[in-house]
Amino acid sequence: MRPILVKIKPTSGFSNFLHLLLVLIVPILALVLVSLNFYQLAFSIIVLSKWRMFAVRPRFWAANIRANAIDLMVGLSVVAFMTHSDSSPIRILWAVIYAVWLLYIKPSSKVLTVTSQAFIGQLFALMALYLVWASGPIYGLTLLTGLFCFLAARHFLEAFEEPYARLLSYMWGYFGGALAWLLSHWLLYFKNISDLAIFLSVIGYGIALIYYLDHFDKLNKTNKRLIISSVLVIVVAIVALSGWWGDQVV
């Protein structure tokens, strides 16, 4: 079944300018608050920017939260990256990245863009989780890792109207949580990026690529072997290189 692509006619004139201004206020305000060391307020701004999730009857809240989960994951992760950076240019760069997300990546409903949204959301959320809360309890890391993986998979699969989206999402979430349970005992970091975030991103991207090609009848044995072998090579390379970062084990 082909995915449904919704084309939204862009606004123009003053309404478009006002929309862009309101969107840009969020990353700018988050940057200012982080620079002033008001970290809790910066996180609160991201959550409050999604107030429309609750501007409906309570029975729709769960569906709205799930639909906006990836956007929340990216926004909160960007603020976390800002709070862990002492460099103003790096913070500004993260604010620019968040603005690009809000203006160009998030509004698109094309299949490739939705795939990118899911990939970015999972990667950012896992990076932020193991950057901020690496010393947290294992059960907490396992639960949140599984949750982020589940939400990313659900976001990805809904673009294809997959009838088993919930089941497949639970399977990916379980895999992410199980891997977190195993690897959280000896976390390794590559430039502040945990090995777990890299593993799940590489494996998840490989699986998503196979699913995408199969959905559009473009998957053959050669492509499948190439994708699987590439994923295995990257995973093995990370494991082999991890010895040089042994002094950064958490």
How confident is the model over 34-46, as a mean pLDDT?
94
Of 183, 19, 158, 147, give the one whose Cα is nearest residue 73.
Answer: 147
Going by their DSSP bridges, the two strands 189-190 and 193-194 should be labelled as antiparallel
Lowest mean pLDDT among 2-16, 21-35, 163-177, 220-234: 2-16
Torsion angle in degrees (nearest 10) through CA of 170, 171, 172, 173: 40
Return the residue matching tokens 């992760």: 77
Q: How far is 24 from 248, CA to CA, in rounded Å? A: 37
Nearest-angstrom CA–CA distance, 138 and 142: 6
The residue type at 215? H
129 CB contacts (<8 Å, ≥6 apart)?
141, 144, 145, 148
The 10s digit of each residue's pLDDT in 73-92 is 999 999 999 999 989 999 99
The distance in angstroms from the start CA to the end CA of the chain is 45
Question: Higher-confidence residue: 8 or 22?
Answer: 22
Average pLDDT of the residues in 179-195: 83
Residue 120 neighbours by CB distance under 10 Å: 20
The yes-or-no verdict on residue 198 having pLDDT over 80 is yes
Q: Looking at the predicted structure, is the pLDDT value of residue 226 above 80?
A: yes
